[in-house]
């Protein structure tokens, strides 16, 4: 009889654990299928992300819940019961911490989300979010185990002061990167040009440095502190569309009204036909200089973004050159004027000097 009692004492807790696991599987299948149908009807992606992340730890949480009830009826001694409860609590806190960390990162990266607008996507913001969540979870685990967190916080404070003094340059780059990210004047994917001449797409803003991928497909690594102090042209801020300026010069004998009409016709064709141009934009020209050999003017076009300006200029120059040739509009070469009388007098002086030298 005692043998049967001992077996039942083992089977009942084990049965509770197995039952909780099976109930977790069933609940995840039916409950989440209904929640998924509801989430698809909503306009936001936040509920889809939350449900997707809940699927992973749901079975574990059901198993931990069953394990907790199994421990309560297992008849363990009070000392071992307390250890088992703490162990279950630590596992639960750890799994919740991992869940919150993954969920936070996915919500930060959610397109069009409010958090992404407030904290743009970057390695720095994601790493700081993870560290904050993991530290909070670690402190909760310490508190659950009965370990006082006051000495730990004190040690962190003293250690942080020592680290701050030893790693001034690193911390300078860290806070500069955090400022760059929060200011939103330099965002991931923006096309920028540095005052040193490098230009390219911002790939990431990390702990120490930012990465800018240039058009030749190489990467420039720039320390955050230096980047924060640099003069930067952001071709994507406040918007991607940009004016494309092309400098042109025509002969002084040209009919400027005709030149303006022909040039604008070609520019309108380019705006409508070339990929990357802005079809709704009406191009125009502005004369500005009587140069040494030509009357110069600027043609103002429009491109959807910086890299599109190359193709817009390329097609415009080809078509304009062909049209000018057909219309008889002359684009003059640089001209050097020669004063023939002055050159003849100088030649005579040089000749007399040579004759005199020969006689001597």
Residue 270: per-residue pLDDT? 96
Residue 312: per-residue pLDDT? 96
Lowest mean pLDDT, pick from 49-53, 101-105, 251-255: 49-53
- Local confidence band at 185 (pLDDT 50, 70, 90 cut-offs): confident
Residue 317 to residue 323: CA distance in whole angstroms: 10
Residue 161 pLDDT greater than 60, yes or no: no
Residue 208: per-residue pLDDT? 82
Tell me which of 178 and 101 has the higher pLDDT: 101
Most confident of 28-32, 133-137, 196-200: 196-200
Residue 2 pLDDT greater than 70, yes or no: no
Residue 188 pLDDT greater than 80, yes or no: yes
Tell me which of 301 and 167 has the higher pLDDT: 301
Residue 271 pLDDT greater than 90, yes or no: yes
Average pLDDT, integer, range 330-343: 65
- Local confidence band at 320 (pLDDT 50, 70, 90 cut-offs): very high
Residue 120: per-residue pLDDT? 57
Residue 335 pLDDT greater than 90, yes or no: no
- Local confidence band at 114 (pLDDT 50, 70, 90 cut-offs): low
Most confident of 40-49, 71-80, 256-265: 256-265
Q: What is the mean pLDDT of the chain?
A: 79
Q: pTM of this prediction?
A: 0.58
Residue 62 pLDDT greater than 60, yes or no: yes
Residue 203 to residue 212: CA distance in whole angstroms: 6
Tell me which residue of 18, 25, 20, 188 sits closest to 108, measured CA to CA.
Answer: 188
Residue 322: per-residue pLDDT? 94
Tell me which residue of 70, 93, 84 sits closest to 19, measured CA to CA.
Answer: 70
Tell me which residue of 190, 225, 192 sits closest to 206, measured CA to CA.
Answer: 225
């Amino acid at each position: 009889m005692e043998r049967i009692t001992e077996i039942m004492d083992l089977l009942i807790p084990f049965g509770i654990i197995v039952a909780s696991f099976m109930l977790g599987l069933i609940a995840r299948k039916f409950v989440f299928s209904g929640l998924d149908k509801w989430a698809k009807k909503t306009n936001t992606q936040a509920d889809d992300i939350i449900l997707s992340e809940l699927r992973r730890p749901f079975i574990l949480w059901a198993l931990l819940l069953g394990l907790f009830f199994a421990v309560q009826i297992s008849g363990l001694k009070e000392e071992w019961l307390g250890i088992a409860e703490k162990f279950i609590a630590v596992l639960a806190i750890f799994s919740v911490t991992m869940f919150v960390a993954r969920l936070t990162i996915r919500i930060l990266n959610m397109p069009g989300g409010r958090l992404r607008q407030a904290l743009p996507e970057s390695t720095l913001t994601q790493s700081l979010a993870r560290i904050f969540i993991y530290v909070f979870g670690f402190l909760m685990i310490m508190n659950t185990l009965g370990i006082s967190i006051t000495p730990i916080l004190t040690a962190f404070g003293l250690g942080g002061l020592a680290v701050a003094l030893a790693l001034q340059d690193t911390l300078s780059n860290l806070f500069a990167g955090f400022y760059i990210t929060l200011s939103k004047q330099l965002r991931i994917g923006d096309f920028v040009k540095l005052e040193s001449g490098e230009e390219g797409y911002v790939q990431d803003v990390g702990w120490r440095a930012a990465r800018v991928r240039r058009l030749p497909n190489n990467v420039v690594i720039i320390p955050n502190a230096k980047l924060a102090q640099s003069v930067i042209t952001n071709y994507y801020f406040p918007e991607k569309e940009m004016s494309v300026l092309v400098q042109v010069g025509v002969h002084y004998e040209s009919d400027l009204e005709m030149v303006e009409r022909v040039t604008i016709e070609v520019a309108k064709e380019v705006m409508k036909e070339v990929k990357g141009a802005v079809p709704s934009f009406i191009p125009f020209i502005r004369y500005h200089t009587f140069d040494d050999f030509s009357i110069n003017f600027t043609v103002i076009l429009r491109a959807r973004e910086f890299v599109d300006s190359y193709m817009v200029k390329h097609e415009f120059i080809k078509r304009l050159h062909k049209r000018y040739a057909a219309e008889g509009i002359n684009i003059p070469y640089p001209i050097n004027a020669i004063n023939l009388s002055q050159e003849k007098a100088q030649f005579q002086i040089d000749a007399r000097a040579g004759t005199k030298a020969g006689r001597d």
